[in-house]
Amino acid sequence: MAPTPCELCKTTRALVVRPKNHQKLCKTCFINIFETEIHNTITANSLFFSGERVAIGASGGKDSTVLASVLKTLNKRYHYGLNLVLLSIDEGIKGYRDDSLETVKRNAVQYDMPLEIVGYDELYGWTMDQVVEQIGKKGNCTYCGVFRRQALDRGAARLGIKHVVTGHNADDIAETVMMNLLRGDLPRLARATSIVTASAASDIKRSKPLKYAYEKEIVYYALHKGLDYFTTECIYSPEAFRGSARTLIKNLEKVRPSAILDVVRSGEDMARLVPEEVSGVGKSGKDILVVEGEAEGAGGCGSANGRTSGGEMADMEKQLLENEKSQGNEMEITLKGQKHDRNCKNLNRMPRKLPKQQMGKCARCGYLSSQDICKACMLLEGLNKNRPKTQIQVSVERKTVIQR
Amino acid sequence: MSTEPSKADVPIVVEFTGGLELLFSNQRKHRLLLPSSGEKGQPANTAFLVRYLCENVMKDKRKEMFIIDGTVRPGILVLINDADWELEGGDQYELKKNDNILFVSTLHGG
């Protein structure tokens, strides 16, 4: 078969077929068009302002690595004037996060960006390994998701940064739309499609510059640019609903590649139909209020379905678990209660942003919270209650071994 | 591979990345001598290569992580000499000497 020429430059051999329009492109033209489209997303949504300090939620996975690479390139090419920093969360998962953090450390050198690592250990006194040791593998993603959101905020706050970008891609958004559709969760469906989320729980804004980028193209970009990224799955990730949504989306893509962006657009259109007082989304569809702990997290987590994505997983698993719980599986009473509270609040709340005064501080940790005690502290309370017992057991066992 | 090299075999390089290497003895690069014709005497194409890899190279039991409904699982990219296999005829592409076939999972992250 004769080589197919690039449809743009007409000279070089095409290497990539774009999923959204079947356009056949050579490496150079593909990289160029991929970057230009991200730039267009950024400018069309006015994501940044000149001089802004922006933290990139970096897990070492393909999405956040591509995001860092593209932002570095665009910042220079279009003179955004951004001050970019890598922000990583160390959940404390041996054999997973310690390895991926090595990738982030290399990225920091490659992209010449400062790197800040925030550990669950230092923030909460618990690593995820310890959490799993105590509560088991079932439901641990809930903890990880709640902890991660605060951790990213705290990391950003530590750096004096008010804007965190995450590597959520079009496939992730499409999955989230499908999941919320399948669960009948219209408010979340509306919020999930938004490119910018502001949170009631913090003054730190989140955005998703790769929202319209196909996962497939992200991988192509990483491959053709020879980017260094990490690809092992979280060892604790469960097989779950998201895995099914992911498979569904990937199967759809195979039959009809444009389906992914179509689902994203449909999600946006549906979001516009959700009343503001339900979704908390302004009609612009850009700026969104997110209730504490609800926005998408960053960092890595995954599903054992053979897939982990750069950051959205923990949050979705968390949402998933919360949702399952709220439907009657009484696994986590505190969360169930919070979910209920949150829904009431959503219905009564004024549209658009809550005034700052309405936000309280967590009575325990002082972190901004819409409730007396923040969600992380609620989870920690449960963990800490059982901790002494567990520790004694462990130490006894160890002693026994040593004595023998 | 223990197969005796014969004139008819096609020497190729197969690479796995994006997490797929975990299914293939944690080894990214595999040099193979692919039989020049498939099970029914058809020329060795990528469809045959995928089956061949599954049966002869993949030691991991989770075959469904690589192959579903007789072809590469959705979410795995296949590149033939750096180009998306769609540009080369997909699973009907007939393998040639020294071809490089790269399988990349988009399903893993970090």
Instruction: Give the per-residue SS3 of A59-120.
Output: CCCHHHHHHHHHHHHHHHHCCCCCEEEEEEEECCCCCCHHHHHHHHHHHHHHCCCCEEEEEH
Q: Within 13 A of A190's CA, how many CA atoms are on the CB side?
A: 24
Residue type present at position B34: L
What is the domain range of residue B34?
Answer: 10-105
Q: How far apart are the first and last CA of chain A?
A: 70
pLDDT at residue number A99: 83
- Is the pLDDT assigned to residue A22 strictly greater than 50? yes
For residue A275, the model assigns a pLDDT of 79
Phi, psi of B32 (to 5 degrees): -125, 155
Is A202 a known ligand-binding residue? no
Cα–Cα distance measured from residue A216 to residue A219, given in angstroms and rounded to the nearest whole number: 5
Which residues in chain B are closer than 8 Å to A60, comparing Cβ atoms? 110
For residue range A150-208, what is the model confidence (pLDDT) as tens digits? 899 889 999 999 999 999 999 999 999 999 998 888 888 888 899 998 766 668 899 99
In a domain, B30, yes or no: yes
Q: Which residue of A has its CA nearest to B69?
A: A251
User: What pLDDT is stored for residue B58 in this prediction?
Assistant: 92
| Residue A349 tokens, joined | 């709340």
The C-alpha of A389 sits at a distance from chain B's nearest C-alpha, in angstroms, of: 33
User: Interface pTM (ipTM) of the complex?
Assistant: 0.90
B28 touches chain A (CB under 8 A): no
Q: Which of B65, B83, B110 sits opposite A229 (nearest CB)?
A: B110
Q: Which residues of A have a CB under 8 Å from any CB of B?
A: 1, 3-4, 13-17, 24, 27, 59-63, 100, 103, 215-216, 218-220, 223, 229-233, 246-247, 250-251, 253-254, 300, 302, 305-311, 313
Question: Using CB atoms, which residue from B79, B84, B110 is nearest to A310?
Answer: B110
Domain count, chain B: 1
Whether the per-residue pLDDT at A283 is higher than 50: the answer is no
- Contact state of A254 with B88 under an 8 Å Cβ cutoff: no
Residue B45 maps to a domain: yes
Of B19, B73, B106, the CB nearest to A232: B19
Interface contact flag, A309 B74, Cβ < 8 Å: no
Greater confidence (A271 vs A279) lies with A271
Question: How many CB atoms sit inside 10 A of residue A342's CB?
Answer: 21
| Mutation for A interface: B64, B105, B107, most A CBs within 10 A | B107
Mean pLDDT in residue range A381-403: 57
Element (H, E) at A377: helix A375-403
Give the rounded distance of the alpha carbon of A323 from its chain centre. Answer: 18
CB-CB contact of A107 with B110 (8 Å): no
pLDDT over threshold 70, residue A293: no
Burial class (CB in 10 A: 0-12, 13-18, 19+), B2: exposed
Other CB atoms within a 10 A radius of the CB of residue B105 amount to 26
Convert the pLDDT of each residue in B27-81 to its tens digit.
Answer: 999 999 999 888 888 889 999 999 999 999 999 888 888 998 888 999 899 999 9
- Could you tell me if residue B110 is inside a domain? no
Q: A16-355 adopts what CATH topology?
A: Rossmann fold (3.40.50)
- Tell me what pLDDT residue A110 has: 95
Residue pair A259/A253 in contact by the 8 Å Cβ criterion: yes
Is 90 exceeded by the pLDDT of residue A232? no
> In this complex, which of B74, B89, B109 lies closest to A309 when CB atoms are compared?
B109
Cβ burial, residue A351 (10 Å; 0-12/13-18/19+): middle
A171 marked ligand binding residue: no
Low-confidence winner among A59-73, A129-143, A205-219, A282-296 (lowest mean pLDDT):
A282-296
- pLDDT at position A71 is 98
CATH number at residue B22: 3.10.20.30
Distance CA A249, CA A241 (A): 13
Tell me the shortest Cα–Cα distance from A334 to chain B, in angstroms.
29
What one-letter code names the amino acid at A180? N
Q: Is the dihedral of CA A226, A228, A232, A236 positive or negative?
A: negative
Q: Is residue B1 part of a domain?
A: no
**A167 marked as part of a ligand binding site:** yes
Q: How many CA atoms lie within 13 A of A372 on its CB side?
A: 1
Q: How confident is the model at residue A302 (pLDDT cuts 50, 70, 90)?
A: very low
Contact B108/A233, CB-based, under 8 Å?
A: yes
Contact between A232 and B110 using a beta-carbon 8 Å cutoff: yes
pLDDT tens for each residue of B35-44: 988 888 888 9
Q: Does residue B87 sit at the A interface (CB-CB below 8 Å)?
A: yes
Domain ranges of chain A: 16-355
Distance CA(B11)–CA(B96), nearest Å, equals 8
Instruction: Check the annotation: does A213 bind a ligand.
Output: no
Cβ atoms of B24 and B33 closer than 8 Å: no
Q: Does the residue B42 lie in any domain? A: yes
The predicted-structure confidence for A323-372, as pLDDT tens digits, reads as follows 555 544 433 333 333 343 444 444 444 444 433 335 678 888 877 777 78
Q: How confident is the model at residue A240 (pLDDT cuts 50, 70, 90)?
A: low
Determine, yes or no, domain membership for B41. Answer: yes
pLDDT-based confidence at residue A309 (cuts at 50, 70, 90): very low
Is A12 within 8 Å of A28 (Cβ atoms)? yes
Cβ atoms of B82 and B100 within 8 Å: the answer is yes
What is the predicted pLDDT for the residue at A276?
73
Closest listed residue to residue A279, CA positions, set A189, A149, A356: A189
Q: Above pLDDT 90, what percent of chain B?
A: 61
Cβ(A308)–Cβ(A233) below 8 Å: yes
DSSP A6: P
Largest CA distance in chain B: 43
Question: For residues A234 and B98, which has the higher predicted lDDT (pLDDT)?
Answer: B98
In a domain, B4, yes or no: no
